[in-house]
Amino acid sequence: MVRILAIADEKTRSLSVGRIRSINPDLVVACGDLPFDYLDYIASAANRTLLFVPGSNDPDLKTRPLPMYTDSDFSLAWKEPPGPPGGVNLDGRVEEWKGLAFAGLGGSLRHRPGPNQYGEREMWLRTLRLRSRARLRTLVGKGKIDVLVTHSLPRGHGDLDDVAHRGFECFEGLVEELEPEVVLHGHVHPQGVENSDRTIGNSRLVNVIPYKVIEVEL
């Protein structure tokens, strides 16, 4: 059993160092729209690996690190990739962590200028690429995706009617094909509404704002 501390969108004082250590997660997963220094604080307090996807309010993380010369001896070094220090960006990728397979897609439906926002067709193309990566795993004898990490959510499964908080229609088909045990997402703030889990097939959809503790079987 893997214990995941999943966070998104809202900083909360209830996640003190003591509380994080009492949760004792095996892994920290962030679903977007949180300051990078806050992510660094959570991961450092837990002393665990951080997996994340960017949210609609996060900066552009697609920029590749550029070579630079060090001040001391002019030797070639590489800048730290953008994002929280030491974090692993899951956006558009499949990563395995201690036997669990994680896939991720960041961003939201486009509602204003800026990075990490996509039209429905753009996101559909991104889901096709992620599906291909997941199928490749099965072709080489690896298991299916265990956890899907997104910022936004499937249309009609807890989203709202305004464009800024509307989910992606293509996500439902993605979940149906990948059949992860759990889908972790943020983006839609509960704001006093009961934050209950939803399902697509056998997959559980969890809105993790501001944080949830999720246990996934190996």
Q: Where are the beta strands (DSSP E) in 135-202?
A: 147-150, 182-185, 198-200
pLDDT in tens, 101-134: 999 999 999 999 889 999 999 999 999 999 999 9
* pTM score, whole prediction: 0.91
pLDDT in tens, 52-72: 999 999 999 875 555 555 555
Q: What is the pLDDT of residue 218?
A: 81
Q: Please tell me whether residue 88 adopts helix, strand or coil conformation.
A: strand
Q: What is the pLDDT of residue 190?
A: 81
Q: Which of 65-79, 91-105, 156-170 has the lowest average pLDDT?
A: 65-79
Q: What is the pLDDT of residue 64?
A: 55
pLDDT in tens, 10-37: 999 999 999 999 999 999 999 999 999 9
- Give the residue carrying structure tokens 């983006």: 187
CA 180 – CA 145 distance, rounded (Å): 5
101: left (phi over 0), alpha (psi -120 to 50) or beta: beta
107: left (phi over 0), alpha (psi -120 to 50) or beta: left
CA distances from 96 to 21, 56, 88, 143, 165 (A): 24, 25, 11, 10, 30
